[in-house]
């Protein structure tokens, strides 16, 4: 995922949490917030709490989520900041069901946000 498509500053995360809207599924919560530059690239921040496992597990799920997000970028609304929060159990479910299952879960939460 390119730098222009990432949220990295704490204040950006805070703005999305406090002023944004959210949708959730069993394994994911997606917050989004419209930016002033409505035509800008969508940006994503990932939050994978320690309840999901150790550092190796958390980093693996982040790599997988970045890959899914890169594939979904054409479908994602422009001019928004997003924060995707992983709920416990996603890493184990992805391991058992595969990468395509993870892609479907992320697509599901993105579609809910677009509605």
User: In the predicted model, is pLDDT for residue 48 greater than 80?
Assistant: yes
Tell whether 115 is covered by a domain.
no
Each residue's pLDDT tens digit, 15-46: 898 999 999 999 999 999 998 877 788 999 99
Q: What is the pTM of this model?
A: 0.89
Q: For residues 20 and 113, give the distance between their C-alpha atoms in angstroms, rounded to a whole number.
A: 11
CB environment 6-36: b (16+ within 10 A), e (fewer): bbeeeebbebbeeebebbeeebbebbbbebe
Question: How many domains does the chain divide into?
Answer: 1
**CATH number of 84's domain:** 3.30.230.10
Each residue's pLDDT tens digit, 76-91: 988 899 999 999 999 9
Q: For residues 49 and 87, give the distance between their C-alpha atoms in angstroms, rounded to a whole number.
A: 8
Which domain does 85 fall in, by range?
3-109
Tell whether 79 is covered by a domain.
yes
Joined together, the tokens standing for residue 25 give 């599924």
């Amino acid at each position: 995922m390119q730098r222009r498509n990432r949220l990295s500053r704490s204040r950006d995360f805070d703005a999305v949490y406090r002023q944004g809207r959210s949708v959730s599924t069993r394994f994911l919560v997606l917050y989004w917030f419209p930016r002033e530059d409505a035509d800008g690239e969508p940006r994503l921040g990932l939050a994978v709490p320690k309840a999901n496992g150790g550092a190796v597990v958390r980093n693996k799920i982040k790599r997988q989520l970045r890959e899914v997000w890169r594939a979904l970028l054409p479908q994602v609304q422009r001019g928004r900041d997003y924060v995707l929060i992983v709920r416990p159990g996603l890493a184990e479910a992805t391991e058992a069901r595969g990468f395509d299952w993870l892609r479907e879960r992320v697509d599901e939460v993105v579609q809910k946000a677009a509605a």
